[in-house]
Amino acid sequence: MQAYSKDELKRSIEDYVKVLYRKGVSEASKKQIFQAVAYSVKDLIIEQWMETHRVYEEEDVKTVYYLSMEFLMGRALGNNIINLKTNKVVEETLRELGLKLEDVEEEEPDPALGNGGLGRLAACFLESLSTLGYPVIGCGIRYKYGMFEQKIENGYQMEVPDDWLRDGNPFEMKQEEAAVIVKFGGYVRMTKDENGREKYIQENYSPVRAVPYDLPIVGYSNHVVNSLRIWDAEAIDHFNLDSFDKGDYLKAVEQQNLARSICEVLYPNDNHYAGKELRLKQQYFFVSASVQRAVLKYMEKHEDIRQLPEKVIFQLNDTHPSVTVAELMRILLDDYDLSWDEAWEVTTKTCAYTNHTIMSEALEKWPIDLFAKLLPRIYQIVEEINRRFMNLIHEKYHCNFKKVEKMAIIYNGQIRMANLAIVGSFSVNGVAKLHTEILKNQQLKDFYELTPEKFNNKTNGITQRRFLLHGNPLLANWVTSKIGSEWITHLEHMKKLETYALDPICQKEFMDIKYQNKVRLAEYIKQHNKIEVDPNSIFDVQVKRLHEYKRQLLNIMHVMYLYEELKKNPRMDIVPRTFIFGAKASAGYRRAKAIIKLINSVGEVVNNDKTIGGKIKVVFIENYRVSNAEMIFAAADVSEQISTASKEASGTGNMKFMLNGAITLGTMDGANVEIVEEVGLENAFIFGLSSDEVIKYELEGGYNPKDIYNQDLGIRTIMTHMIDGYYAPVNLDLFREVHNSLLDNFGGERADQFFILKDFRSYVEAQQKVEMAYRNPEWWAKAAILNVANSGKFSSDRTIEEYVEDIWKLEKVTVEL
């Protein structure tokens, strides 16, 4: 079937409700209706999925395997029906059944198999690859529990397990026949084959069965459906009930436990490496399964494994899948008997690595003993890769030990996964221009000098299908009414909006839409936070993971400062503002959690202070995730992108705000630099130290925040209020650590390592400019429209075309039905 008529769809929904729940539509719950609609939509997808596969087989296409521990997909139903162009039929059919599409969409749990930027980027990339017609298989893990659900209780973050599969996932398909075995532990025995060649055999290992579940990735209006393949672990069923051999029994139980634990939960750490053995198990599990499968698939159609790079690319999404390099070597050496040099040639033409962060805490390093015990054969191979690489370095740099220290893959008892990824890949890319320059000139300088040809930049992007067409229908329709619908697949067409930016009627239409989106968010806030906010106030928004480098603390300190000013002068004439935050903190990140509490405590005081007449409000949106993000971007006036310059590799939220007509208030960091390049410095609010300045201070060992503290009464006052009970009447110590971190060196950590006090005044000034600008509605509307008009570069379609052109070299396919 190609498409549904309303009658056909209605019948299909009725059938599914009946078959699945033994009910009629009128008796079914909303959740059940969601399932029935999703299954009906899946029936449409299946046809295109099969046809896409057929074309891939027939044309023997080159495929990119996007290896990622995280895919932050967000809900599928709404986007699937948009991309199938069947959303109108679904909407009308549901309406005739007395249901609203929006309400049915709300029933889908957010698949949250990711933390933040890196996982969401992977999801945007898959959608763009399908829309552009390139073959991809996203390879990941089917976590039983995704990113935790955040509850705010008394201002504190609580974590609730995210049981997203409880009711089953209607879109997934288990692929039993594609299962493979992944081997952990044991030891390696060396023998010789009949030709006297050394053979390495892993023995006495614990096997785990990897079973893939495929999820469809539907392209926009082109019949292309790629797959996200997430692996689940199952114990190998060799429980022999007849045998009461105790040894076997215990071994079987052990294997059950291993299998059960691997895919249990996503590590909720963002940018902080914890070094847990289970995480390494997860990494090797999904990498080994994906690589084995890719090689098997290749060999179905080809004779010579040495030609693998012509058909297969492994793109490593950060260092998390770095073991790919060694796993592919293992398969080529042990299973296909290639020589080391042949195997290395194939591997280094197949693997490519993307770096997503310069934060040194995020660099993955594994203790040798842990690594070697879990992956004995892989460890041998990593050792040999390192030995050969070190020979090369010694030769080239005449035993320069500084070079060895920086570049070794194994050093100081640890295996450095970034170095393994770089050495084993033909391409190393950063995710924004500034980030790539920092990699080349600082972080990865030695590798850049050794192999400059590997390094390249791929500035991130976002999919406009989700973040405008689905998330902001009012604005999407308005844009289409002005410039046509080509922007949906060619975002650069947005440029045509520029001519409307100065037209007073268009300005009014645009601001009306923004207002309606603010009303929608205000209702959500009313319902969830029990706080009334004024849609006429400036919606000033910072939503992203909570991390000190992202500086939510700077934002809330500005709110404290404003509040202080208002207290001094309650008649002060300011434009009412709603400061909106949304952020999850890693469960073990104490200081981040204290900052969440601080934001909520400030909100509690400010929101309930009658004397300031509601001029400022602070809202913390609980459980920030893809689904509520879409609504938040649509309603934002100001986009807070205020990371310490040099720390945010790119950012992608910044692009989603821009696309929705919010104006950036930010530092010259990550992709903000390129946003400003596109929209013009005059249409953004830029403040703070540059990345060069930050790096210079860091090389000098920091700066002295006490100088600023002593000279600046405003700063001193708000900092005092962190510890005098002003915002925490019951526990004066609540925010003491946060306070002290801004002033004192502590255990190797510099005072104010993220330059909050240093940038504070510059930020306050930028905020005053925001305020002035908002008083001029024509200016604001114009600048906001210009932000939408100049967002073209930030489509993930553009990013993907660059990956294809420079790294992957894929061929586009067309799928006809």
Q: Which residues bind ligand 26W (CB under 6 A)?
A: 115-118, 121, 269-273, 318, 356-357, 362, 364, 431, 460, 648-652, 670
Distance CA 167, CA 502 (A): 50
Q: Is 582 helix (H, G, I), strand (E, B) or coil?
A: strand
C-alpha dihedral sign at 123, 126, 130, 132:
positive
Distance CA 11, CA 130 (A): 29
Backbone φ and ψ of 285, nearest 5°: -55, -55
Helices (H), 60-116: 77-83, 87-96, 101-106
Residue 617 β-bridge partners: 578
Q: Which is nearer to ligand 26W, 69 or 329 (CB)?
A: 69
Provide, rounded to whole angstroms, the least separation between the CB of residue 353 and ligand 26W: 12
Provide, rounded to whole angstroms, the least separation between the CB of residue 305 and ligand 26W: 32
Q: Which is nearer to ligand 26W, 312 or 438 (CB)?
A: 438
Pairing between β-strand 198-203 and β-strand 187-192 as defined by DSSP bridges: antiparallel
Q: Which is nearer to ligand 26W, 121 or 488 (CB)?
A: 121
Residue 429 β-bridge partners: 354, 456
Residue 459 gets the label, from left (phi > 0), alpha (psi -120 to 50) or beta, of: beta
Which of 544, 547, 597, 647 does the annotation list as catalytic?
544
CB 676 within 8 A of CB 786: no
Distance CA 430, CA 419 (A): 15
Instruction: Tell me the two tokens of residue 262.
Output: 């691997």
C-alpha dihedral sign at 325, 331, 332, 333:
positive
Q: Is 584 helix (H, G, I), strand (E, B) or coil?
A: coil
Provide, rounded to whole angstroms, the least separation between the CB of residue 701 and ligand 26W: 25
Closest-CA residue to 640 (of 599, 697, 699, 590): 599
Q: Which is nearer to ligand 26W, 52 or 357 (CB)?
A: 357
Give the type of residue at 7.
Answer: D
Q: Which is nearer to ligand 26W, 93 or 355 (CB)?
A: 355
Q: Which is nearer to ligand 26W, 273 or 500 (CB)?
A: 273
Closest-CA residue to 653 (of 668, 680, 672): 672
Give the type of residue at 155.
Answer: G
Residue 209 β-bridge partners: 181, 234
Query: In this structure, what DSSP letter does residue 176 have?
Result: G
Place of tokens 């268009």: 506
Which of 656, 782, 793, 798 does the annotation list as catalytic?
656
Q: Which is nearer to ligand 26W, 230 or 718 (CB)?
A: 230
Which of 42, 403, 545, 551 does the annotation list as catalytic?
545
Provide, rounded to whole angstroms, the least separation between the CB of residue 443 and ligand 26W: 13
Backbone φ and ψ of 717, nearest 5°: -60, -50
Query: In this structure, what DSSP letter does residue 171 have?
Result: T
Provide, rounded to whole angstroms, the least separation between the CB of residue 361 and ligand 26W: 8
Which of 350, 652, 664, 667 does the annotation list as catalytic?
652
Triad 504, 508, 512: Cα angle to 5°: 170
DSSP one-letter string for 179-196? -EEEEESSEEEEEE-TTS
Q: Which is nearer to ligand 26W, 118 or 488 (CB)?
A: 118
CB 354 within 8 A of CB 444: no
Provide, rounded to whole angstroms, the least separation between the CB of residue 734 and ligand 26W: 27
Provide, rounded to whole angstroms, the least separation between the CB of residue 147 and ligand 26W: 12
Residue 71 β-bridge partners: 113
Q: Which is nearer to ligand 26W, 286 or 726 (CB)?
A: 286
CB closest to ligand 26W, residue no: 117
Q: Which is nearer to ligand 26W, 317 or 627 (CB)?
A: 317
Provide, rounded to whole angstroms, the least separation between the CB of residue 115 and ligand 26W: 6
Q: Is 268 helix (H, G, I), strand (E, B) or coil?
A: coil
Provide, rounded to whole angstroms, the least separation between the CB of residue 644 and ligand 26W: 12
Q: Where are the beta strands (DSSP E) in 219-301?
A: 225-234
Distance CA 420, CA 416 (A): 6
Query: In this structure, what DSSP letter does residue 804 have?
Result: I
Number of other CB atoms surrounding residue 87 within 10 Å: 19
Q: Is 238 one of the annotated active-site residues of the chain?
A: no
Q: Is 93 one of the annotated active-site residues of the chain?
A: no
Distance CA 135, CA 174 (A): 20
Cα end-to-end distance, the chain, whole Å? 9
Provide, rounded to whole angstroms, the least separation between the CB of residue 121 and ligand 26W: 4
Q: Which is nearer to ligand 26W, 150 or 269 (CB)?
A: 269
Q: Which is nearer to ligand 26W, 540 or 669 (CB)?
A: 669
CB 673 within 8 A of CB 576: no
Give the type of residue at 563.
Answer: Y
Distance CA 558, CA 357 (A): 27
Which of 42, 223, 365, 550 does the annotation list as catalytic?
550
Q: Which is nearer to ligand 26W, 462 or 728 (CB)?
A: 462
Q: Which residues of 522-556 are buried (b: 16+ CB within 10 A; e: fewer)?
A: bebbeeebebebebebbbbbbbbbbbbbbbbbbbb
Q: Is 550 one of the annotated active-site residues of the chain?
A: yes
Provide, rounded to whole angstroms, the least separation between the CB of residue 319 and ligand 26W: 8
Report how far apart, in Å, the C-alpha atoms of 747 and of each of 2, 490, 588, 741, 750 are. Answer: 64, 51, 18, 11, 8
Provide, rounded to whole angstroms, the least separation between the CB of residue 550 and ligand 26W: 9
Distance CA 550, CA 548 (A): 5
Provide, rounded to whole angstroms, the least separation between the CB of residue 654 and ligand 26W: 9
Q: Is 356 one of the annotated active-site residues of the chain?
A: yes
Q: Is 798 one of the annotated active-site residues of the chain?
A: no
Which of 75, 293, 320, 356 does the annotation list as catalytic?
356
Q: Is 95 one of the annotated active-site residues of the chain?
A: no
Helices (H), 401-499: 401-407, 417-424, 433-438, 445-450, 464, 473-483
The residues annotated with a catalytic role in the active site are 356, 544-545, 550, 652, 656
